[in-house]
């Protein structure tokens, strides 16, 4: 097996839409994804790419030993960081030696003040390495301000706020244009320098450009204790007179008042949709239209695959079947950013599906942005309805729907409801009848029903109705066998009046009369 390949992926300044297509392609293909983070935090790079990761990808967190202010001596900060990068490189080298490609995600650009550079220095000579550039925070901040950084032949400097005060004075004296990065605890020092050099009028402060919590504020208003690491001061170049046919506007005039925050994004739309049983012709036109308009498609992988076709610009955020609440929360986060998200369910979203999970997530959340989202539930043909239609009309009279899964409720409750429904002589549609983890519960359910219903009671087994491998079986309570069903089967149990009629093709119709004796 050959060695793996190392990728340094710039994922932009924080807005997920600013990830390049190339970074996204490499990210999705890599079996191992590494990311830097502070202790007990996911890290901004991981947060940006999280919707695009697959469950089977190996995640390698590289946790900084120190964040924020450097500890005072005798703590060996430089030595601790050197050891950290050495250890991080060797952890990734284990995967590369095993033939696994490793994608290291970096905020902004990997080689522009990015920690990836230290991995690059240690690994690039040993393994094939490719770096994909990203939109850096300097360009993102300029875009947020709506301010050109330089005109014509002006010189632009990028300066770290961590430099000593006298060095900052030396480098900013006579400056034409500059970006001052890594503010954080260095903000007060930088503000003194700007004041001393008469640059306060030209300078602009941007915090968390393109991220949630983005702010543009006047430097004089800033509390030094509140300044985060992800903040920056820009000193744009003086506007060249030839750049406008009208009167020249001095660089000190901002595109918006410096004391105001940029408008929050308008809440987006979150639609929970039912695909129906699986075939395109049984999907409601309103559901297809919602899918076609959406930006983000969120759902269980199998159901997302059924929801296509999709446009190249639509994001498919699929995950494992048991991550309902995580999917709901992700969809709310996307919609709260102003995006149009769709959560996909098979059948009807309100029948043992994602609609309830979405409302659970909403009720548990105190985020006002989630509650401001436009929320819509679009129905679909349920598995019970699809199977009933194939069989005839077994749901023609009163009926109930019961899930045999005890993942979210105890089996004793399921048995009680089965017995009560049987005694009430209701037709029953049974979902989730049997799985590898629950091989015996359908047999137990049949035993409960057999206490009340006769062996001749009609049973309909509908499996994958509406999909290429669909099958329909008409049998009876006395003849049905547990191994005939699985999680993709819906079971319809007739009432005492449900009837079986011969079909022209040799099969049987099943229906329940509308009346009751």
Report pLDDT for 249: 37
Express each pLDDT in 46-83 by its tens digit.
999 988 998 899 999 999 998 877 788 888 888 999 99
163 occurs within a structural domain = yes
Burial category of 73 from C-beta neighbours within 10 Å (exposed 0-12, middle 13-18, buried 19 and up): exposed
Residues 165 and 191 in one domain: yes
Residues 312 and 411 in one domain: no
Show which of 351, 381, 411 is a domain's final residue.
Answer: 381
Report pLDDT for 259: 39
Q: Which domain holds residue 232?
A: 139-240
Residues 224-249, mean pLDDT to the nearest whole number: 73
- Residue 95 predicted with pLDDT over 60: yes
Report pLDDT for 243: 55
Report pLDDT for 265: 57
Residues 106 and 183 in one domain: no
CB neighbours of residue 71 within 10 Å: 12
Q: What is the DSSP letter of 504?
A: T
Total domains in the fold of the chain: 4
Residues 101 and 184 in one domain: no
Q: Would you call 159 helix, strand, or coil by DSSP?
A: strand
DSSP H helices, 406-471, are: 411-423, 441-450
Rounded distance between C-alpha atoms, residue 320 and residue 226, angstroms: 39
Residues 87 and 154 in one domain: no
Q: Judging by DSSP bridges, how do beta strands 489-493 and 458-463 pair with one another?
A: antiparallel
The fraction of the chain above a pLDDT of 70, given in percent, is 94
Residues 89 and 208 in one domain: no
CB neighbours of residue 358 within 10 Å: 25
Residues 220 and 295 in one domain: no
pLDDT band at 321 (very low <50, low <70, confident <90, very high): low
pLDDT band at 320 (very low <50, low <70, confident <90, very high): confident
CB neighbours of residue 114 within 10 Å: 22
Q: 29-43, 123-137, 382-396: which has the minimum mean pLDDT?
A: 29-43
| DSSP per position, 235-250 | EPPPPPGGG-SSPPPP
Q: Judging by DSSP bridges, how do beta strands 489-493 and 427-431 pair with one another?
A: antiparallel
C-alpha neighbours within 13 Å on the C-beta side of residue 218: 9
255 occurs within a structural domain = no
Burial 125-164 (b: 16+ CB within 10 A, else e): eebebebbbbbbbbbbbbebbebebbbeeeeeeebebebe
Contact criterion met (CB below 8 Å) for 46 and 105: yes
249 occurs within a structural domain = no
Residues 341 and 326 in one domain: yes
Indicate the pTM of the whole model.
0.52
Residues 92 and 152 in one domain: no
Show which of 99, 115, 135 is a domain's final residue.
Answer: 135
pLDDT band at 253 (very low <50, low <70, confident <90, very high): very low
CATH number at residue 36: 3.40.1010.10
Rounded distance between C-alpha atoms, residue 341 and residue 295, angstroms: 6
1 occurs within a structural domain = no
pLDDT band at 242 (very low <50, low <70, confident <90, very high): low
- Residue 257 predicted with pLDDT over 80: no
Express each pLDDT in 418-440 by its tens digit.
999 999 999 999 999 999 989 99
- Residue 245 predicted with pLDDT over 80: no
Rounded distance between C-alpha atoms, residue 315 and residue 223, angstroms: 39
Residues 122 and 162 in one domain: no
Contact criterion met (CB below 8 Å) for 347 and 383: yes
CATH number at residue 458: 3.30.950.10
Backbone angles phi, psi at 499, to 5 degrees: -120, 155
Express each pLDDT in 96-146 by its tens digit.
999 999 999 999 999 998 899 999 999 999 999 999 999 999 999 999 998
Numbers of helices and strands, H then E, in the chain: 15, 23
**Cis peptide bond N-terminal to 98, omega within 30:** no
78 occurs within a structural domain = yes
More confident residue, 320 or 138: 138
Residues 285 and 367 in one domain: yes
- Residue 262 predicted with pLDDT over 90: no
Report pLDDT for 311: 86
Residues 415 and 497 in one domain: yes
421 occurs within a structural domain = yes
262 occurs within a structural domain = no
- The percent of the chain in helix, strand and coil, each rounded to the nearest 5, is 35, 20, 45
Beta-carbon contacts of 196 under 8 Å, excluding residues fewer than 6 positions away, are 169
Report pLDDT for 256: 42
Show which of 115, 135, 155 is a domain's final residue.
Answer: 135
253 occurs within a structural domain = no
């Amino acid at each position: 097996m050959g060695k793996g390949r190392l990728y340094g992926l710039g994922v932009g300044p924080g807005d997920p839409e600013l990830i390049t297509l190339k970074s996204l392609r490499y990210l999705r293909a890599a079996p191992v994804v590494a990311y830097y983070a502070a202790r007990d935090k996911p890290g901004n790079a991981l947060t940006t790419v999280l919707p695009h990761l697959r469950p089977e990808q190996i995640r390698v967190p590289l946790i900084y030993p120190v964040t924020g202010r450097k500890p005072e001596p005798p703590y060996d900060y430089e030595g601790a960081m050197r050891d950290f990068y050495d250890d991080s490189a060797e952890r990734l080298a284990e995967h590369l030696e095993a033939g696994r490609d490793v994608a290291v995600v970096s905020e902004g650009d990997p080689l522009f003040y990015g920690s990836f550079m230290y991995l690059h220095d240690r690994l690039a000579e040993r393994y094939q390495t490719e770096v994909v550039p990203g939109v850096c925070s300097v360009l993102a901040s300029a875009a947020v301000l709506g301010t050109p950084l330089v005109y014509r032949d002006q010189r632009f400097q990028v300066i770290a706020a961590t430099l000593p005060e006298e060095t900052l004075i030396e480098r900013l004296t006579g400056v034409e244009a500059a970006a001052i990065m890594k503010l954080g605890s260095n903000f007060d020092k930088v503000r003194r320098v700007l004041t001393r050099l008469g640059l306060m009028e030209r300078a602009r402060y941007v915090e968390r450009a393109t991220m949630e919590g983005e702010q543009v504020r006047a430097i004089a208003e800033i509390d030094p204790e509140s300044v985060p690491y992800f903040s920056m001061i820009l000193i744009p170049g003086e506007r060249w007179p030839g750049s406008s046919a009208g009167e020249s506007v001095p660089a000190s005039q901002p595109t918006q008042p410096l004391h105001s925050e940029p408008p929050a994004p308008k809440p987006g739309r979150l639609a929970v949709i039912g695909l129906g049983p699986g075939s395109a012709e049984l999907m409601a036109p309103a559901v297809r239209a919602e899918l076609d308009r959406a930006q983000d498609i969120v759902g269980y992988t199998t159901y997302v695959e059924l929801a296509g076709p999709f446009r190249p610009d639509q994001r498919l955020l699929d995950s494992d079947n048991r991550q309902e609440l995580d999917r709901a929360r992700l969809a709310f986060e996307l919609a709260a950013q102003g995006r149009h998200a769709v959560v996909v369910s098979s059948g009807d979203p309100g029948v043992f599906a994602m609609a309830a999970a979405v409302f659970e997530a909403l009720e548990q959340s105190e985020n006002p942005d989630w509650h401001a989202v436009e929320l819509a539930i679009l129905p679909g043909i349920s598995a019970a309805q699809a199977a009933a239609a194939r069989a005839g009309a077994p749901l023609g009279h009163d009926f109930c729907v019961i899930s045999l899964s005890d993942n979210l409720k105890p089996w004793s409750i399921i048995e009680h409801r089965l017995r009560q429904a049987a005694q009430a002589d209701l037709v029953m549609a049974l979902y989730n009848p049997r799985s590898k983890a629950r091989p015996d519960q359908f047999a137990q359910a049949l035993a409960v029903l057999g206490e009340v219903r006769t062996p001749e009671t009609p049973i309909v087994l509908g499996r994958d109705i509406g999909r290429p491998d669909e099958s329909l079986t008409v049998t009876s309570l006395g003849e049905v066998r547990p191994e005939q069903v699985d999680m993709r089967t819906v079971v319809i149990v007739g009432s005492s009046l449900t009837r079986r009629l011969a079909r022209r093709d040799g099969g049987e119709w099943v229906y329940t009369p509308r009346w009751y004796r």
